[in-house]
Each structure stands twice: as C-alpha cells, then as structure tokens.
Chain A
C-alpha cells in the first residue's frame, strides 16, 4: 500500500548552499510522524516543498501514490495538504467563520455567499474539535491557543488529509498543548496523516509513533518511539563529530588562569518583557560565552537587552567604566559593547551605503577631523578590516547590498573592530552564511578573543555553541536552565533546551 504522503530524493539549493540533499520522508494515513533536526537541518525547507510554498530542484512527491506537481500552496491545499506555519496566521479582524472559509465560502447563487450555511458548517467543524468559541466572534478576541485550534479547524473543514504542524506548541501553555494533542489524536483516528515538527522531544515521544531525523539536508535515521531512546534521537540529530575542521581550537588562556575573575561583564537579573526572565551571567576577558536556546526561548531578546537596544534591562550591570545597564544603543556603544544583529538584512546592513560607510558608521567620530569625515582614513581602515576578516569585494566603495551574505556578515563584524570594544555580542552570527565564510568568521572570532576581547555568542545552533563557546548557558522559556563549562556538548545543550534535565554543573 502506498503511503498517504511520500517524498523521495528531494534536493533544494539556495544560491550555492544545498539545504536538502536527497531527503526522503513519508507519512501514512492514520499516524502522527515526528520530523526532527537541528537548526538548518532542512526541516522547514522540506515541509515548504511538500506544502507547495517552494519548488524542489529534484525529487518526487506523491500523495496517495499520485505525482504531486504543484506550483503554489493553493494547489497543495486543493490536493489536501495543509501546513500550519510556526507563526499563527489568521485574519485578526474577520470572524471565526470568515477565517475558516477564507477563500472558499459556500455559495448560494454564483456571486453571493451563503452566510447561514457557512455558519452552520463552521459550528460543525468547531464541534468536531470540541472547540467552544462563537463563530461570529472576531479572531483577535480569541486566545493564541484558540486561534491555533481554529487554524486546525480551517484545515479540517478544507478536507485536509495531510496536516503539517511546525512547532505548534511554541506559544501554548502545557494545558493548551495537551488539548491540542488530544485533538490531533482524534484526527489521526479518522485517518489523517500528520507531520509534527518540534524541538521538544518529550512532546514528540508522547504523541508520535515514529520520528524521522534530518541532518544537513540528508536523512539521519528513523526511529520507533516505543523502541528508541531520546538520546539515540539526539545523537542522530547532532551527528558524528565534524567539529575539528570548522571550529578553531580553544585558547589555552594562560593569562586567565593567572588572573581569575577578570570579568569584563557581570550581569544579575537580566529581564526583557517576559522573553528573558532574571538571568545572571558573566563574561571574562578572552572568552566566548555561549547563550543557547531554541526558537521562542528568549534568545532573540537576550543579546540586544545586554546592548541597551531594549532599554535598561539588568538589575545589576558591571563593566569596567560602566556601572549601569545601558539604556540606548549609544550608551551600549559608549560602554564598549558591539552588537551583530541576527536579522542581517533588516537590522544589520545599510544596503545603499558602501562597504566603507557601513564599516565606519558606529565610530565615525574617529575618522572626523574638524567638521569633515576623512574618506582617506575611512578607506585605510576599511581595507584593514577587509584583510582582517577576508571580506571579498572589488573595492571599499561597493554597495553593501551587492555583497554576498557571507561578506555582509563579515562586514557586520568588521565594523566593531575599529573601536574600543570590550565585549562583542553576536546574534546568530552564521545564519544564512556558507560553510567557507563560517569557518573564517569562527577563526576571526577566536583570534579576537585571544587578543583579550570578550564575546557573547547568542545562537540557536547547538553545534556552533558547542564548537566555539568556552562556557555556555541554555535558556528555556526565558530562564537560564543549565550552565556548561568547556568542552560543551551539543547534545547536552539540546537536552537542556528541550527541558529534559538540568544537566551540567554551575
């Protein structure tokens, strides 16, 4: 018998980087299948291809044994494949009914919609899921969990046979999650095939009979949850050690041993609007401290809260020459902190300005004599930065938007080198960066910290934190769940972040 959904040999490249290298996946009818993998393993790319949002370069997707060849999510939905993205996507100002029937209202006579029939069908769909919300209520009055369930009702009412859920519990409480699981179990009994993506292994083991693991765009194993242990699955996600080539060796740090407690930064009670809750940590000169967490764990706010971009966020903040938590980016800069923002396109590069202008912007005063900026000195400094980080560009005057992703990222790091930075905060420093540039960035980062700078590496890439950090903390729902000393193990980080155990010493 054919599986309800099967994908075989799927390839997908973005520019020069292969996100999927012949990945396989299948989901039979009446089963919930877990899809697991570390960040960048290719899970999202794979489900986007299955749901018609992306086209594969090669590979075969079949629904009930029939070739699926669709050019948009609309085709996939018509074939019964529905994806619920991580972010809840509803029309907040439309009613529950209108949300459920968006795009395909029942008609009375051609141009007129049949409101009464819609409401009736909507109620039936809600009842089926045991969801007690008024069909006429506007969506924005519902809680996040109810909105999530309405999304599922929308898929079910649209006769979806394959349902793909990407981190559906990220915004739900435990009780709400349990309710979601019960509903998913009900759908499974009625023959739906459900693909379940989650970082929380407990959840996956609770509701999935089978899990499939992706690593670097390839299959890394399939497990029956009844027979396998969570550690086996984690091992498959992390893979064999390929660390040596990519990550530079750690510093011997003789200086540090002789001067213990040379803290560049000591923070107590860092909080950011519920995203980060009461975190304590310190960073010493010459070391890289990793802050690891999954999506939604609060790491997105962590680095910028330290830098001052979110206002004063720490109860106690101690840096040489700065005794208070910075209130603005200017104050962060003055204290000697630099920030490499996660979203390079949105928050990192100034697209129309040249490489030179991008590099010198934070310390423009240093290049200014009297009233005028000295372009000559800017060029010299930019050339030095290009050489130091291996930025490949035809000239210092190249517009930033015309550089490759890797070179843009190097530029975002390079701009902090001309100032007196004591601490460099890096958010996801290698996201969307090809492997070659990654290695160069890691090596440069290590060279900088060997020179006495301190670095805070905020990343959702467990391997990156494990390969680079001298010490690390793991965040779970905004709180520091575990602390690690080198050598940090990627599997341990993932375990801690998945809320499995408070492993690791203080």
Chain B
C-alpha cells in the first residue's frame, strides 16, 4: 500500500513538501532569526546559483545524459567575465563570451557522449578536470575582485524586494516546466531517456535531443557563474566546483531517476529549497560547515534509497 503510493510522481513531491515544511518548522522553533522575510529571501538568493544549474541538469538526466562539468563551467565563466573586465573590454562582453563558452563546452560534452558513445560520467569528469585546470591557470589560483557598477546588479539588485538571482532561477524553472510538460521537445526528452531504442524507431532524434540538453546545461553553468561572480563581486576559480555534489543531490532528491526517463523540474525545485533551508538553518544554529557536509551526504543517500524504493514500487 505504502509502496504503491510511493510509486506515484506526485506522491514523491508530497513527501518532499512535507519534509520541507517540517524543516521550516524545526528551524523556526530552534532559531529566532530563521523565520523572517529577510532570511527566507537571502536563503533563496544563496541557492539560486545552484538552482540554475540543477534546473537544466534535470531534463538532461531525464533524457539519459549527465553533466559533471557544469560547476567547473560556472567557475571558468566567472573568471572569463572578470579577466575581460580587467582587460578593458567590459563586463558585458565578458558575459557574452562566458555564455558562448558555456554553450560550446556543453555541446562538446554532448558530441563526445553521443557521437563517440562514451559514458557521459567519464566524458564530463574529463572536461570538468580540464575546465577547472584552465580556471586555475588563468588566475594562478587566486580570487580576482570584480567590481563594475553596471554589472554587479545582476547579483545584488532586488526588484520588488526579491533578489534578482532568485527571480532568474524561478523563471528558469517555470520555463523548463513549460517545455517539459507541454512541448513536443519535452515529450521527446522523456522518450529518449525512457527507452532510447524505441524512441529512435519512432522518429525521435535521440542524439540531437541529448546534445541540445548538454549545450543548455553548459549554458546554465555559464549563467550561474556570471550570477555568482556578480553576487560575490569577485571570481574565485574554485568557488563553484565544490557545489557539484549539491547540484546532483538536488536532482536526485527531487525524484529524477539517474537511469533516465523519469523525473521533472518541480521535484528538483523542492529539493533545492530543502537543501537551501538545511544549509541556512544549520548555519544559523552554528553547526560547522564540516558537519553540514556530513548531513548533506546523509540526505543524498536517503534520496537514492528512496529512489530505489520508488523504482521498485513503480515496477511492481
């Protein structure tokens, strides 16, 4: 009974929603500062950078792909913006260059993974290492300040009191939801991941679908890198890389199957909120960031276990 219920997608969302509510209640009870508009909004802004990448990573994994290089792309994108600004070309030219770079890196991942039929885990692990290395070479491993008046608002402005990065992230989730739920391309994403052989014989261009999503994933990495650099007012070559696991954790916790074919962005959004609340609440309670790593790991394992139970329930 419980298992059959867990097999339904909306039930997975309900579990996440209840968990999120419990988390909010728990932290509100433990910390007087947690439950305030100001804290909620800054919590969202801090997660926006991860949410942007997790949002696009979700349809990619649904379609049977995987991008481990996305956070490294974010790191190098911040570096590109900063260096071009320093070089006098202006931050916005840097943004354009970063977005072009991100999209090309993603498309490159896609071509390697689909064209040569290499395992995406290995391809993107390789490109992740290359891109991280380039970031370190370009900056000598040092953090570079980035202060451009007409640029930093990307990270710091608050239209209607809501931080711009949060608005960007929510807009991205909304657009991706429209694509995945209502367009032929969205249907092709699920078909390509659910059974690539069958999808191909029904006229779905499986490789093309995947390459487009890899390119978009790279683009989301660049966008996240730009947002992070604007928020921090600096580009740190290693600022993004360590968030990779949080991104993957969010996607899986949100109910997207690593085997492809199942999942969606709403679950990922809920998971991003949960991870953000966890991070914010534990920090307010003065739990060290080392312990936070431990807790995030436990949450990830629980999410994977839950995914297995759900898969079996759905198959039974």
Interface residues in chain A, defined as those with a beta carbon under 8 Å from any beta carbon in chain B: 304, 307, 309, 329-330, 333, 339, 341, 346-353, 357, 361-362, 364-365, 368, 371-373, 399, 401, 415
Contact = CB atoms under 8 A, between A and B. Distances in A.
A91 B194 CA distance: 31
Contacts of B183: 368, 371-373
B200 A351 contact: no
A357 B187 contact: yes
A341 B315 CA distance: 23
A301 to B, nearest CB: 14
Contacts of B200: 309, 329
Contact of A350 (B194, B205, B314, B315): B194
B194 A329 contact: no
B184 A350 contact: no
A352 B201 contact: no
Interface string B161-187: 000000000000000000000111001
B262 A352 contact: yes
B203 A333 contact: yes
A373 B182 contact: yes
Contacts of B160: none
- 5 nearest A-B pairs in the assembled complex, by CB-CB distance: A372-B182, A364-B184, A333-B203, A362-B202, A350-B194
B151 to A, nearest CB: 33
B195 A349 contact: yes
Nearest to B186: A373
A347 B198 CA distance: 4
Given A333-B203, A351-B194, A361 B187 contact: yes
The DSSP consensus for interface residues of chain B is helix
B82 to A, nearest CB: 37
B191 interface: yes
B261 interface: yes
Interface in B198-254: 198-205
A341 B201 contact: yes
Which of B191, B202, B314: most chain A CB closer than 10 A? B202
17 contacts: A304-B201, A307-B201, A309-B200, A309-B201, A346-B195, A346-B197, A346-B198, A347-B198, A350-B199, A351-B194, A351-B261, A352-B314, A353-B187, A357-B190, A361-B202, A362-B203, A373-B182
Contacts of A372: 182-183
A361 B194 CA distance: 13
Nearest to B257: A352
A368 B194 CA distance: 22
Contact of B202 (A346, A368, A399, A415): A415
B12 to A, nearest CB: 13
Nearest to A361: B202
Contacts of B188: 364
Given A346-B195, A346-B197, A373-B184, 8 more contacts: A346-B198, A348-B198, A349-B195, A350-B198, A350-B261, A361-B203, A371-B183, A401-B315
Contact of B201 (A339, A357, A368, A401): A339
A329 B182 contact: no
B190 A330 contact: no
Interface string B19-49: 0000000000000000000000000000000
B203 A329 contact: yes
B184 A347 contact: no
Contacts of B315: 401
Contact of A352 (B182, B194, B204): B194
A307 B205 CA distance: 15
A436 to B, nearest CB: 25
B87 to A, nearest CB: 40
B198 A349 contact: yes
A353 B9 CA distance: 12
A352 B187 CA distance: 12
Contact of B203 (A330, A353, A401): A330
Contact of A329 (B187, B191, B202, B314): B202
Contacts of B199: 350, 361
Contacts of A399: 314
B184 A368 contact: yes
B194 A330 contact: no
Which of A348, A399, A415: most chain B CB closer than 10 A? A348
Nearest to B199: A350
B130 to A, nearest CB: 32
A347 B194 contact: no
B63 to A, nearest CB: 13
Which of A346, A351, A401: most chain B CB closer than 10 A? A351
A93 to B, nearest CB: 20
A372 B179 CA distance: 8
Contacts of A339: 201
Contacts of B197: 346-347
A349 B195 CA distance: 8
Given A350-B191, A361-B191, A329 B201 contact: yes
B121 to A, nearest CB: 22
Contacts of A341: 198, 201
A329 B195 CA distance: 15
A351 B201 CA distance: 15
A372 B190 CA distance: 16
B270 to A, nearest CB: 20
A339 B202 CA distance: 8
B187 A364 contact: yes
Interface string B257-269: 0000110000000
A21 B200 CA distance: 39
B190 A353 contact: yes
A339 B188 CA distance: 18
Contacts of B184: 364-365, 368, 373
A351 B194 CA distance: 7
A399 B188 CA distance: 16
Contacts of B198: 341, 346-350
Nearest to B195: A350
